[in-house]
Structure 1
Amino acid sequence: MRILFIGAVEFSACALRELIEMRADVVGVCTLLESIFNADHVDLTPIAEEAGIPVCSTMDINGEEALNWIRRCEPDVIFCFGWSKLVRSPLLELPRLGVVGFHPAALPENRGRHPLIWALVLGLEETASTFFFMDEGADSGDLLSQRKIAIEPEDDARTLYTRVTEVAMGQIREFVPLLESGRYQPQPQEHSKANVWRKRGITDGRIDWRMSAETIHNLVRGLTRPYVGAHFDFGKHSVKVWRTEIGLDIAANLEPGKVLAAEEEGLLVKAGIGAIRLLEYEPRISLTPGDYL
């Protein structure tokens, strides 16, 4: 089974290495040399070249130049894992087995953008690793493989990204032989259960001290590395916050944004409900109890 691989993020790199280790017949790789969209961008060129796989670097996977290159590879199936733009016809119709995509959410729920970030920011307790056959819609095609994944209270973007990746690699090892033998069973999605998450903007990452401590904590853990980080403005500084913990019960008659303690382990700040301790942030700013953010 001839596989054409498309991707340009950390997850893409892991999946491509997995296929190479499986000795799958990867006949070509399409990737991006650089990206302004993905904080976890990875150029797959070195991985492909080391394995002797031809590479096409393109900004437009649906463009005629990329399409002609892919046609020459004569793929039976295309794996598109980690590409920020929709794949459209005629590329969707080019391989006989179709185009398999990946979405780290429990489709048909939570289609759309930034699924790991939104799951953490919203405080969800579960997500999933889902492979599906791509169609003209956004994450709406038939399911190929899905595994549910619990989100633990201590999880952040990095730990959840890592665990989803580990689960997904196991799924790849399972479904590649099924695709090759024709023994796979696609499952239509129940579209009535679908919702679509929107693209995250810079204002979605701004900490408002009137939020509850829990909401701020979820925002920080959802946007921490490998993503862009939550932030707040202080003077001329935009301060990135990478790690927090919820503080002890605090008197309700204190105003949000008030610095309650400036400790060695971090700043304790009054939130709309409760208090939040900033454990890791940059740049470090000089504050004393009684100051306001």
Structure 2
Amino acid sequence: MPARSVVLVNVFRSIQMFIAAYEERSFTGAALRENATQPGVSQHVASLEEHLGVKLFRRGRHDVQPTEAATVFYRYCHDALHALDTAREAVQALRETIDDDITIGLTQTLTELAFPHAFRKLSAQYPAIRMSIVEFAGPMVYQRVQSGHLDLAIAPASTRLTGLTYTHFATIPEVLVCAEGAPATPIAPRDIDAAKMILPPHTFSRRIHIEEYLGTHGVTCDQVIEMNSLASLSLVRRDGWNVILPLTMMWSPDDEPRAGLTIRPLADPPLALDWVVVESSKKVRSRAADLLVEALKERVDEVLECWAATPAVAA
């Protein structure tokens, strides 16, 4: 070890002994606390006194009393050691090596909205993590997790299958998307023009929730097209159809509004669906998967927070 490093280590050890002596008011008590010897504590304190050029303790027969200089020095030493511990933890976290493969099922909305953020964050800190994304639309993703083809997936909550565990990921509002020209203000379900509605296929859990939401408020759809992709937006722009979609598919604080469309929050009451992390109950989620889910959630939470602050919603 270089001489300068030895000196630094000795200084930090001396400071630890000084703090123990200051708080215990005893070199013997400090020695017990620091797993050292009483002469060793005395030597460390004497070394500090020589270095500082002041007395830090008045030695008594059975105890020691700190001087005014010791009280001042103690305050700074305490803060310095706390900062050192914080720095050590931060550096050790950066040195953590995770070498793992993750295969995760994501909807198109999460792939576009949240995955780039998660990928950049994890790649910078954990370059040995390899991520494979499988885009899905529909309930088959649950079977893919159940069969082991996917490590996990993030999807709207649905009928629970045996052998899988479900943990809450986010509660994502649904919004009405209609042609440009409509006011970008909240709309109650009873006021929705349901003459031409685009709905998810019957096998999708979102279809059940949307139909219950509309039906509960007396809304009947005259014409229905079953689609569950952004391709439906061309019908909204050109032919005056309406569609209810997850907010995260349609809006991001970083993107320009989609041309030819109006996004209206659903209100009185709102419609929001729980999204869950789905994984096999036979496997323990890896650290790499934990980090990926955290990074995805961080981005989704950021978008939801920004959406809640927009004038149309905040009002």
In the superposition, the TM-score normalised over structure 1's length comes to 0.24
The one of the two structures with greater contact order (alpha-carbon pairs below 8 A, sep at least 6) is 2
Which structure has more helix as a fraction of its residues? 2
Bigger radius of gyration, 1 or 2? 2
In the superposition, the TM-score normalised over structure 2's length comes to 0.23
